[in-house]
Amino acid sequence: IRWHILFPRSEQTEAKMFCRLPSSIASINRSQSVPIQKRGYAIVSNTTGATGQVDTLNSITAAMPPRRVVTLLPGDGIGPELVQSVVGIFQAADVPITWERFDNVFDVAKQKENPESLAQIVSSIARNRVCLKGPLYTPPGTGSRNLTLRKALDLFANVVPCTSIPSLNTRHKNVPIDLVVVRENTQGEYSGHEQVVEPGVVQSLKVVTDRSSKRIAQFAFDYAVREGRKKVTCIHKANIQKLTDGLFLRVCRETAQRYPDIKYNEMIIDNCCMQLVMNPSQFDVMVTGNLYGNLIANVGTGLVGGAGVTGGANFGSDFAIFEVGARHLGLDIAGQGKANPTGLIQSSLMMLKHMDLHQHAKRIESALKTVISVRKIWTADLGGTATTRDVTQAIINELDNQSDVD
């Protein structure tokens, strides 16, 4: 029996809830304060559990429609095309999701933003808890809107899995790569505290706190446990930045001790980048700060096929935003049908798994694998000639084939 809760819940409500749970589930949820397990779902699936009990909570929610609402932000650049692809595929796969769309957030022609839209988007995501988005354009000289969203919703963990895709023509095609970058996404080098000390001298502060380090380390290990991963590597530069990265390193070590079943090791960032291009199979989950995570995620993405193939997710305690792994606007290829939808599809699969829609995720994943690895319908970035629409249609056809077989 799955317990899905309709409204945002406080700690007290949760405690009361858990009293009524079967003991196995109650013990899992009570043992650690785990952001990824504290999910607030807006929709409930019908309890047709083995016991056949009608629980109190479900009677409240039985009247609700069984579809989940997800915020959708097509964004700019190649965003709209990628998002369209996912929407089409979800429709073909009968995914029970209703989209709450926000188009035209930023008027590129006028270089002006509708000031209310960002606030609306934030409240929409707060309500729906899950969002799928494309990249938002940042005009030069202003703050990144992607960053604003992340800060407003306190999405502190950026997860970018980089897995080799069979039969792609990359340099590392004979090297099995299956690593996940878990990047602290709220502070570190990108804290935004900069000052002109005097003309010609600028200082920028890198801030590392105990709290943020604990959060991300905890997240990384919980992620490793949940996904059945074996090893977590902490990436740092504590030999030079002894206080800041030293703090991060210490927190990671302490967290590692609470997970004796997960192997833990450490690596300095420059050595890490070198090892990534020489021997990437050695890496599993990598936990690191903001800047290093950015670099490693991009190196990892480059290893497995480029910006078009990796998905990414941004997690907070209560919300999640899913977008491509390597956040590039692709303005040079926007609107030409050249964009590779694989990356955003991978993110949408992460989203489906996050929402416990595993069956749908399996179907779409299988279709994606067939199209990319078996039938090799590739867009230009992978060396092929297909358009975004070709790839999307091929996946939809695969899904139809699957349902015929069922």
Partner 1 sequence: MLRFPISNSFAASKTPTYTRSFSAKREPIKATLIPGDGIGPEISDATVEIIKQAGVPIEWERVVVSPETGVSQEVIDSVERNRVALKGPLATPIGKGHTSLNLALRKQFNLYVNVRPSVSIPGFKTLYDDVDLVVMRENTEGEYSGIEFSVVPGLAESVKLITKEASTRVADYAFKYAQRHQRKRVTAVHKANIMRLSDGMFIESCRQVADRWPSIKYEELVIDNATMKLTMNPNQFDVLVLPNLYGDIVSDLCAGLIGGLGLTPSANIGQEVAIFEAVHGTAPDIAGQNKANPTALLLSACMMINHLGMHEHGAKIQNAVLETIREGKTLTGDLGGKSSTSDFAAAIISKFRD
Query: By the criterion CB under 8 A, which residues form the site for partner 1?
Result: 138, 140-141, 144, 147, 170-172, 189-190, 192, 194-196, 199-211, 237-247, 249, 268-271, 273-278, 291, 294-295, 297-299, 301-303, 306-307, 326-328
Q: How far apart are the first and last CA of the chain?
A: 26
C-beta of residue 126 within 8 angstroms of C-beta of residue 153: yes
Closer residue to partner 1, CB minimum distance, 95 or 382: 382
Most distant pair of Cα atoms in the chain: their distance: 73
Q: Which is nearer to partner 1, 6 or 147 (CB)?
A: 147
CB of 3 to partner 1, least distance (A): 35
Compare residues 3 and 135 and give the one whose CB is closer to partner 1. Answer: 135
Smallest distance, partner 1 to C-beta of residue 81, A: 20
Query: Which one, 34 or 207, has the nearer CB to partner 1?
Result: 207
Specify the residue, 231 or 328, whose C-beta has the smaller distance to partner 1: 328
By C-beta, is 87 or 344 nearer to partner 1? 344
CB of 105 or CB of 307, closer to partner 1 = 307
The Cα angle at residue 322 between residues 320 and 327, in degrees rounded to 5: 130
> CA-to-CA distance for 248 and 203, rounded, in angstroms?
22
Q: Where are the beta strands (DSSP E) in 26-96?
A: 68-73
3-state secondary structure of 153: coil
Query: Based on CB atoms, which residue is closest to partner 1, 61 or 158?
Result: 158
User: In sequence order, what DSSP letters do the residues of 119-147 get, joined into one string?
Assistant: HHHHHHHHHHSEEEE-PPP--TTS--HHH
To partner 1, the closest distance from the beta carbon of 30 in angstroms equals 26
Pairing mode, strands 311-315 and 320-324 = antiparallel
Residue 58 Cβ, how far from partner 1 at the closest point, in Å?
A: 43
Q: Which amino acid is present at 398?
A: E
Among candidates 106, 100, 88, 168, which has minimal Cα distance to 374? 168
DSSP state at residue 281: G
CB of 205 to partner 1, least distance (A): 5
Tokens of 294: 């950015």
Angstrom distance (rounded) from CA 216 to CA 146:
19
Q: How many CB atoms lie within 10 A of CB 169?
A: 11
If you search the block for the tokens 């996940």, which residue do you land on?
A: 180
Structure tokens at 83: 């998002």
